[in-house]
Every structure is written in structure tokens, then in C-alpha cells.
Structure 1
Amino acid sequence: MMGSPEKAQWPAAGLDLARLRRIGWQPLPFVEFVVKINSRCNLACDYCYVYEMADQSWRDQPKSMSARVFAESCRTIAEHARRFALPAVNIVFHGGEPLLVGHRALDGFARQAHETLEPITAVRLGMQTNGVLIDDAFLRICARWGIRIGVSIDGDEAGHDRHRRYRRGAGSYTDVARGLDRLVHGTYSDLYSGLLCTIDVDNDPLDTYEGLLHFNPPAMDFLLPHGNWTTPPPSTGTAAGRTPYADWLIAIFDRWYDAPRLETRVRLFDEVIQLLLGGPSHSESVGLSPIRLAVFETDGSLEQVDALKSAFAGAARIEAAAAGNPLDDALWHPAVVARQIGIEALSDVCRCCPIHNVCGGGHYAHRYRAGTGFRNPSVYCADLMKLIRHVEARVRADLPTSAAG
């Protein structure tokens, strides 16, 4: 492909796989699989990295995954699990909007996953949905197969409807709230895994947090909008002295941290605190722990995490293996290796930074710069620095003197 950026940029160019093999480094097998059972969406969120950014490959995908392709994907996962003796795997039904496949297809997919994988490994099922189609029939299916449900919602009604609209312009909050009420207040509340909110610094942070708390989430997470040095995010903090995302998150952190009781878990804050105290990370957003996730598109092709589609067309692509199990082969794909080698994937600037073990260079997709690739600091570098330093100061102030030292 003439002018293809992925061939000339790090990690495709510059990551020495031969050296890693010589020193005995081995990639870790995949344990989490995002399965795109539907490639279209019933909303038109203006910040969506799948439909609104650089990579438009969704247009070439089948609208829904067929039963045959899903069964083959399960067999591929099962073979990978058997080879590496994995005790458990996570499968997340995703899209687009996964509930667009309908009740019968979702039930069939869940049944197939259990029948194919349970003889080999424990399988945990989850789903990330925009929530507007949640009904009692879907909830009964999720209860039957133990499908944990995460819902994407951006706070209160005004904040949510700023971006998460239907194609004709109407906001989706009322429908999302109706679906969440069924999940939260009915007999299926044990399926509720939490809420996912994309940050808009034009929305009041405390109104956003309180709007999410209204639905009694067991957990929530805040996502920085995907962008990079070539295509900066909105309200970017790259200008000297500006840290709009840190300021927004700090307001919520202080409200959350100072609450008289734990109201909910906030994944980003939990991860930063754990890393500051010397623990491991379990997030793509911070820390240096290996990423062990692969994506199956609706045609069965294998890709990396969708967020990379915000960088350039083809950034998430994994070339198909000529033979054998494609997951096994993908473990040595340069971009997969880059997300498992920790500090070696960081830029020189990051490696010299005193908080690189906590920040981890930020989300991999946010490091991209055309011409050099992904070996750069995060486009949110200043925001991450300010947020982490603030959390560190608050936590250390509450530690016993001996521990704080």
C-alpha cells in the first residue's frame, strides 16, 4: 500500500523483535476478547472513534456477525486457551451496538460461547451497550448466561444529550435512563457492571458525577476523548499551562475521595491510587501492565483495540496468519508486542519522567504522531501529570508517617 503509515512508523519500524526473541522474552497470551457481534449503531455520537474518525473500515464489515463466524471465533479462542492452559477467558459482546443483533442471536451467541469454551476454560461474558434497547427479554437472556452489562452514558441529561444523539438529532438520555432503570431496579441488578462516561470538559464535572451516581453504579469510569498529536482532542491540554482534563477530573476526585462513605468505584482513580502504592494496573489508560486483549470484527477478522482507529486507517489491523491459530500468530505482531513490553515501549521523555510507572505513557492510542508512530508521550501528558500529582498528594497526606515516607 503506497504511503501506508503503519509500515514506516514505530512499532512496525524500529521495534526489534529479533532482539526480544534472542533475550528470551515471550508475549503473554490473550485473555480478553472483544467480539463485534454488530458493526452498526443506532446512535450517532459525534465523538465516536469507530464512525467519526480516521479509520472507516466499519463500512466494509457485515452489519452483524453470523452464527458460523461466531462459532469459528469461539473455536479460535478455545484453541488459544488450550495451548496456553488459560484458566479463564473474558468475552465482551460489543459493536456498534451489540443489542441490535436481536434477542435470538444474542441468546445463540452466549450458548455457543459456553458450549465451545467451557470444556476447556471458564468463560466470563460481558457486554458494553448504549442502553437504549435494554428490555426484559434481553435481561432474561443475560441472566440465563451470566452476561454482565456495562452501559455508556455521559452524566446528566444535558451532558449526555450534548453528544449521544440519534441520527435525526434527538437526544438519547430518556431511552438510556429507561433501560438503566430496568437493569438497576429490577430483579437483574446483579448483572450490572457499571457505567462508562466520555469526558467533555464543557459539562460541569460535579453535575456529570452526580448524574452517574443517580443510577447507583457499582463502578464507573471516565474516558479521555480519543485524540493524538496529529489529530488533537477537543479542548486539548497541549498548549503550555493548560490542563482542562486534569482540572475536570480533579474536581470529581475530590468529591469522590472526600465522601463520608464509598459511593462507587471509579476505575481511573482506583488504578492511579493502586499504582502509587506500588500495585499493578489493570487498565489501558495508565500503568505498564501488559495488554492482553484482542478484537474479532463481524467478519471474523482479528484486530487490536478499537481506540487505535482514531490514529489512522488500518492502525488496529492485524495481518491474517497464513496458517495456524491467528491469535497465536498475533502475539508476535509488533503492535501487540509494543503493548506488552512495558517501559521499553515508552519514549525517552517518558522514561526519564519520575511518574512513568504510574502514568505508563498514558493510553497507547493517545501517543500517536504522524511520521514517528506511537513512541511519544501522551497528548494528555500535562493533564496526566497534574492529576497523578494531585491524587498522590491527597493519598500520601492520609497515610501514616512511616508509610508515606
Structure 2
Amino acid sequence: MPFQQFVVKVNSRCNLACRYCYMYFAADTGWRRQPVTADAVTLRQIAHRIGEHVTAHGLRALSLVLHGGEPLLTDPAVLGAFAADVRDRAGDGCSVRAAVQTNGVLLTEDKLAVLAEHGITVGLSLDGGLAAHNHQRVDHAGRPAWPAIRRAARLLAEDRHRGSFNGVLSVIDLATDPAEAYASLLALDPPAIDFLLPHGNWSRPPPGLPAPAAAPTPYGDWLCAVFDQWWGADRRRVRVRLFQECLALLLGLPAATEALGLQPFTAVVIETDGGIEQVDSLKSAYEGAAATGLNVFDHSFDQALDHPGVAARQAGTAALADACLSCPLLKVCGGGHYAHRYRAGHGFRNPSVYCADLSRLIRHIADALHRAATP
């Protein structure tokens, strides 16, 4: 499958030091060797390679994610010019959905206006809608980022900026009450919420999951509690990606997600030096886990498709552990997030470290769907 999502690191540094960040506090230290920003020559070459890939595969649509670090450390006008270059090279026959994923601290009215002028929407990363939920989101001096994040959330929720608001990404914190976390996020009025499991694996278990194969399912329980709030509401106020994709897969519909299902993975990351990498979350496994050894100056994205790591991500059931292949939830779970399967000395051919939690959530959603469909 050709790449259809291009995650471009426009800046390799961040103005925050979130304590759980897989980029700066995990196994991989490659960010230290990256240029701070992607220069104009690199951005032009990335746009060229994307256009080349569009032409080679006749793509009708693609996603361009401007990422970091913190992408708003780069002038929004530069981001806009880059998005315009990508659109120009992709041609009229390919729709380019451009978005910036930001922690929101640097978002202002003026910057939002420039992004909107260039057709770039905004995704906001935060861990809940209250200060207590964001206690791990601090700057390099340890000061809380929440006041600035709240200001960004309110700005995006205003009617005049509503069209620019993609939604929020929220990493689950077991110390947070799920009903409170969900209600606080609803109060920010985002169009969508994407709940993320903290990146961990069998060798570096996630917080609160010291014995992943044991009976307790803390993350599954947390998500089930939120699902019940979402599912039981008198009207659906917000899209919750994980729940909607699980429902689609249970109904036999295709769903494109890293967390669930067997759809081929079609995202690629380009670092500030032009290096072509696999998805960032692999950096939580070991040093160099995301590297391909390729770059946009010497290699096409088609060459990246031939990389063994990329091929494994697109191999479907061929990349799964025997335990996954015999599981009745296979087509829905899909083995879980690829990065969460890693075990030192055994690679990625393992069930997800969240296997029990995913089973708990999927079965819970399936039961709710069955009850709703039963006269």
C-alpha cells in the first residue's frame, strides 16, 4: 500500500518536557542528533518526494501532519508555504488535508489566522480538561503548561475558529477519574477526542501495568467507563475515534487506525534532516527502532515501502503472534498497536502489552452493541 499520511517533523525540539513523552524520555535519543528545524531545502525536497509518490500511485487524497517536537516553534507562514508546495506538487487530482498537532502553548489568534489562511487545521494535545489532569505537562523549568493549554482550547472552540479545530489527543492517566476526565474534555467542546494508551511494551511496561498478562485490566476498565458515558448520552456530542473504530470493526466495516484492526499501515515520518522513518511510537522500544537508513534526498518513498520494518507493518496477520491468530477478536483487535508488542530479544511478534485491556474494551463495546441491536 502506498503511503497516504506524511508526518513531517518541522521542528525536532519541544517547549514542554511532558514526563511521559516517548520522544524525549524513552529508549531512543535520535532527536539529539537532528537539526532543530527542517530548512527550506529539506522542506522543498520533502514536497517533491510527496508529489512523486502521488503521481506514482495515483493518490486521490493524502494527510499531511506537521509535527515535532512542537511544530509552532516554526513560523506558521513557513508551515503554510510548505503545505502550499505539497498541494501544488500533488496536483488538482489529489486532496491534501493539512494539519498541525500542537501542545497549544504557543497558539495565538494571529498564528491561528495564518494557519487557517493556508487551510491547515489544528489538533490539540492535552491530558484532560482540568489543571490536575495535565500535571505531567510542564515546561523545562517544571512550570505547569495548563494555563496556556486552556487558553488555546478556548480559542479553538470559538465559533469563528471552529472550522480549524480537529479535536484533541489525550493520553490516558490511570490516576484520573475517567468520568471526570471525559466530562472535562466535553466542557472544552472539541469536535473529536482521541484517547491514547501510554506507549509501553513487554520490556518497558506502561504505568500501572507491572504484570500485563495478569487479570487486572486498568486501562480497559478506564476506557469502558468513558465508553458508557459516551454511549449512554442522549445525543452524541463528540466523536471518540477509538470507540467509533471499534464499533465499525465489530460491524465488519473497514477502519483505519494504529490501535485496532488489520488494515495496512500507511503513515511515514520525515525527520528535520530529511530522514525517512517509521512511526514515532517505535522510539519507545529501543534506540533506532524507527530508523530506515533512507532520506528524501537520495531515496523515494517507494524505496521506503520496501524496508522490512514498513513491510511488517503492512503484512497484516503475517506479522502477528500465534496467540493473536487463534484469538476470536483478531479482526477487531488486529494485535493492537505495533509498538506495544515489542519484547527485547523477541522483536514485535508478540501480543500487545495491552492484550487483556483491549479484550476487556472490545467485549464491553460488543455487548453494548448487541443490546442496542436486540429488540
- Post-superposition Cα deviations, 1:7-59, rounded to whole Å, max 9, x if no partner, equal xxxxxxxxxxxxxxxxxxxxx11011000001100110010000000001000
**Matches of 1:153 and 1:159 in 2, distance apart?**
11
Equivalent residues in 2 for 1:185-224 (5 A)? 185-224=158-197
Match of 1:52 among 21, 25, 29: 25
Matched residue type, 1:163: Q
Matched residue type, 2:161: Y
Give the conservation status (yes or no) of the 8 Å contact 1:80–1:325.
no
TM-score, with length taken from structure 1 = 0.89
Shift of 1:116: 2.8
**Matches of 2:117 and 2:287 in 1, distance apart?**
39
Does residue 113 (structure 1) correspond to residue 86 (structure 2)? The answer is yes
- Post-superposition Cα deviations, 1:104-152, rounded to whole Å, max 9, x if no partner, equal 3223323322333335632221111001111112111121111111100
Q: How many residues align?
A: 374
Does residue 337 (structure 1) correspond to residue 290 (structure 2)? The answer is no
3-state SS, counterpart of residue 106 of structure 2 = coil
Give the conservation status (yes or no) of the 8 Å contact 2:167–2:192.
yes
- Post-superposition Cα deviations, 1:276-295, rounded to whole Å, max 9, x if no partner, equal 11111210001110000111
Equivalent residues in 2 for 1:161-310 (5 A)? 161-236=134-209, 238=212, 240-310=214-284
Matched residue type, 1:350: C
Equivalent residues in 2 for 1:127-146 (5 A)? 127-146=100-119
Shift of 1:323: 9.0
**Matches of 1:147 and 1:169 in 2, distance apart?**
31
Q: Which moved more, 1:99-108 or 1:314-323?
A: 314-323
Q: Pairwise CA RMSD of aligned residues?
A: 1.5
**Matches of 1:59 and 1:35 in 2, distance apart?**
17
3-state SS, counterpart of residue 293 of structure 2 = coil
Aligned twin of 2:324:
350
**Matches of 1:186 and 1:276 in 2, distance apart?**
35
- Post-superposition Cα deviations, 1:378-398, rounded to whole Å, max 9, x if no partner, equal 000111111111111111111
Matched residue type, 2:204: T
Match of 2:72 among 76, 82, 99: 99
Shift of 1:322: 11
**Matches of 1:389 and 1:107 in 2, distance apart?**
43
**Matches of 1:323 and 1:42 in 2, distance apart?**
29
Does residue 389 (structure 1) correspond to residue 369 (structure 2)? The answer is no
Aligned twin of 1:360:
334
**Matches of 2:36 and 2:297 in 1, distance apart?**
27
Shift of 1:239: 5.0
Shift of 1:331: 0.8
Q: Percentage identity across aligned positions?
A: 48
- Post-superposition Cα deviations, 1:316-356, rounded to whole Å, max 9, x if no partner, equal 01122799642111111111111112111110000001001
Shift of 1:87: 1.1
Shift of 1:196: 0.4
Shift of 1:232: 0.7
TM-score, with length taken from structure 2 = 0.96
Shift of 1:263: 1.3
Unaligned runs of 5+ in 1: 1-27
Q: Which moved more, 1:168-177 or 1:31-40?
A: 168-177
The 3 A distance-change label for structure 1 pair 140 and 156 is closer
**Matches of 2:156 and 2:188 in 1, distance apart?**
10
Shift of 1:272: 0.7
**Matches of 1:60 and 1:149 in 2, distance apart?**
28
Consecutive aligned runs of 4 or more in structure 1 exceeding 6 Å deviation? 321-324
